[in-house]
Structure 1
Amino acid sequence: MADVGARAGVTARTVSNVLSGSIAVRPETRDRVLRAVDELGYRLNTSARSLRTGRTGSITLAIPDLGIDYFSDLASRIMAEAERHGWAVVIEQTGARRATELAILSGAQRQHSDGLIFQPHALGPGDERHLIGNDRLVILGDRIFHAPVDHVTMANTEAAAMATSYLLDRGRRRIAAIGTNPDVSTVSAASLRLDGYRQALTAAGLPVRDDYVVVAQDWHLRDGAAGMARLLALPEPPDAVFCFNDTLAFGALHALAARGLRAPDDIALIGFDNVPMAEFSVPALTTVEPGTGEIAKHAVDLLAARVEGRAGEPTEFFADFSLVVRRSA
């Protein structure tokens, strides 16, 4: 580090601050140090730094499936937020498998990161014992645990009710839903969004038709397309569809187009998540913005507070949500 400091005209301590991601360095100084690092071919000895500081310089993000647009968007945002704290992010894809989720919570890989941001899917009530001793942990997603850990989530039920009410306000009365999954925990995004959908219909005095509630276990494109195909085959197809995530909605749009139908002329369509592709689908997708940016920021900031010893009692944070109105509804 002394050689880098001499080249950049700063102290070795300043070089250390730059390489550790400290925000207390002026941008022009940071640039000089990084140029010197590049010119000298300097490589940080991360093993030695870890032994000295007790930090690894990385955190782990465990999520179910990067093939779902929301999780890839969330991962990108968390990586950007982690960079502010000087962290790299190691992504673990659980596949929504219980054994994998348990291994990530208790496995040896936890030894090689400063903390864990974890969105469980297969675990549920009764698994709180696996969280004991995990003080550098932030849970994402729905409140399936009643344990003393930090928790960051979205208002699934309220946001789903808002999306359904929007369709009702535009005169739609045969509103279907794609995305329910009876095989997951009773407290899940699928069950909570179904609750919101049902609440809005009931408040409007409309029945919740079983044939209008379509199971989609994986929330992938093919599931959205298959769900829409099933609805279109009914004797009385819906005039609007609420998809429980944007990936399902993109698949549903494809199924409509394949049959010569259009949204919103033939069937209005709303998604959930406001992923980047929603703006560019044809037609552009009306969708729920669940506060993904807020979720990423609060999750990383909470974990940083735990790692740095600044945190108090565990907190629970609900992100704000809104409806982004585009062409599909």
Structure 2
Amino acid sequence: MRPRLIDVAEAAGVSMKTVSNVVNGSEHVRESTRLRVLAAIDKLGYRPNIAARNLAQGRSGVIAFAVPQLDRPYFASLAARMLDEAETFGWIVQFHQTGGRREAELGLLTDRHPARLDGIIMSPLNLSPEDVQRRDPALPLVLLGEKAGEEHLADHVGIDNREAGRAATDHLLSLGRRRVMALAPGPGVADERINGYRDALVAAGIGVDEDIVLPAGGVRGEDAELTLGRWLDAGNPAPDAIFAGTDWLAMGAIRALVLRGLKVPQQVAVVGFDDIPYDLATLPTLTTVAPDRVAIARLSLQALRDQKPGQDPVRFQAPFTLVVRESTAGIGPGH
């Protein structure tokens, strides 16, 4: 016989309500209890009847997840985490690639969809606060990323980008580096990360030299390689450290440095941001700020599930960690 909810509850030694809370992703469950219930679910092979549950709750069981580019490693990795977490919430995920175009982002909020959606999770680049305000209030919406700031009237999930930028720069300063350059993706992109860099320098009594805050004009590795390469080729003295607003920029910076005979990290230490999978394939491996993508996905889905029309927007903050690798710590013995 197919395992039932009551079978899981008996196996885990908890109530059926607790099992239901775990299955539905409720945060009001102790971690030890959640793990015990999940172990019982796995052992018994229990699978909730998602269609019946959605029907009872008046839901379609489908949500949309929209990002500028699905082939960017950060968004691809976040999409995988979103799929994993959405399964526990009983949702199927539609993926949308907007290209960062306002008309595509706005279309998701206003156009009719082939099937009714239970909500949208979006990382916008060009939605205005007015665009968000004009959406159907019955459509739950959660915004991700730095571009969706306080002025947007919708729930928001993100990390403290400013504090993360400061932590990355503090790490470089702790290594004794004093001429720390920043590579910024471009106006309005990762601004708070660069502001965190500035905070760290001011707090250290060094002050900010805006001449070495270089706008790369994009987020690609080629953008950083070209920008830093031109700057070095103009005869400017090399920095002894670089904080890059994204990992792609950090990788492009490393290429520009190595092609000019500069050693990383011996002469120039480099820190990136995003902890994309390719960070472990570079030489040296890349020190980076790692947003907790599992937490971002889970908080986004919880916010979507709990959202009510007319409620004030809620800001959710996911944690981050600084992952120290060879681009600042050096390559160890045996390599």
| RMSD (CA atoms) | 3.3
In the alignment, residue 256 of structure 1 is paired with which amino acid?
L
Paired residue for 1:218?
Answer: 218
Task: Summarize deviations over 1:2-53 as a string: whole Å, max 9, x none.
Answer: xxxxxx5679xx9xxxxxxx6799446647999xxxxxxxxx9x8x998886
Paired residue for 1:319?
Answer: 318
In the alignment, residue 192 of structure 1 is paired with which amino acid?
E
**Relative to structure 1, is the Cα distance of residues 265 and 134 closer, same or farther in structure 2, using a 3 angstrom cutoff?**
farther
TM-score (norm 1): 0.78
One of 112, 115, 121 as aligned partner of 2:119: 115
Is the Cα contact below 8 Å between 1:128 and 1:145 reproduced in 2? no
Please give the alpha-carbon distance, in whole angstroms, between the structure 2 residues aligned to 1:49 and 1:26: 17
Paired residue for 1:261?
Answer: 262
Which stretch shifts more, 228-237 or 91-100? 228-237
Please give the alpha-carbon distance, in whole angstroms, between the structure 1 residues aligned to 2:81 and 2:185: 27
Paired residue for 1:283?
Answer: 284
Is the Cα contact below 8 Å between 1:64 and 1:94 reproduced in 2? yes
Q: Are 1:72 and 2:76 an aligned pair?
A: yes
Paired residue for 1:177?
Answer: 182
Q: Are 1:102 and 2:106 an aligned pair?
A: yes
User: How many residues in Structure 1 have an aligned counterpart in Structure 2?
Assistant: 296
Is the Cα contact below 8 Å between 2:133 and 2:153 reproduced in 1? no
Q: Are 1:302 and 2:303 an aligned pair?
A: yes
Please give the alpha-carbon distance, in whole angstroms, between the structure 2 residues aligned to 1:56 and 1:49: 10
Paired residue for 2:149?
Answer: 144
**Relative to structure 1, is the Cα distance of residues 266 and 83 closer, same or farther in structure 2, using a 3 angstrom cutoff?**
same
TM-superposed deviation, 1:220: 1.5
Unaligned runs of 5+ in 1: 1-7, 15-21, 35-43
3-state SS of 1:302 partner: helix
3-state SS of 1:274 partner: coil
Paired residue for 1:168?
Answer: 173
In the alignment, residue 244 of structure 1 is paired with which amino acid?
G
Please give the alpha-carbon distance, in whole angstroms, between the structure 1 residues aligned to 2:48 and 2:195: 54
Is the Cα contact below 8 Å between 2:181 and 2:242 reproduced in 1? yes
In the alignment, residue 162 of structure 1 is paired with which amino acid?
A
Q: Percent identity?
A: 38
Please give the alpha-carbon distance, in whole angstroms, between the structure 2 residues aligned to 1:277 and 1:160: 20
Paired residue for 1:130?
Answer: 134
Task: Summarize deviations over 1:72-124 as a string: whole Å, max 9, x none.
Answer: 12111111111112222111111111111111111112854321111111124
TM-score (norm 2): 0.76
Please give the alpha-carbon distance, in whole angstroms, between the structure 1 residues aligned to 2:3 and 2:172: 61
Is the Cα contact below 8 Å between 2:3 and 2:46 reproduced in 1? no
TM-superposed deviation, 1:227: 2.9
TM-superposed deviation, 1:207: 4.1
Is the Cα contact below 8 Å between 1:125 and 1:145 reproduced in 2? no
**Relative to structure 1, is the Cα distance of residues 109 and 215 closer, same or farther in structure 2, using a 3 angstrom cutoff?**
farther
Please give the alpha-carbon distance, in whole angstroms, between the structure 2 residues aligned to 1:162 and 1:29: 44
In the alignment, residue 56 of structure 1 is paired with which amino acid?
S
Which stretch shifts more, 50-59 or 278-287? 50-59
3-state SS of 2:316 partner: strand
3-state SS of 1:328 partner: helix
Q: Are 1:88 and 2:97 an aligned pair?
A: no
Task: Summarize deviations over 1:160-201 as a string: whole Å, max 9, x none.
Answer: 11111221221212111112412x4xxxx5211121112222
Unaligned runs of 5+ in 2: 8-22, 25-36, 329-335
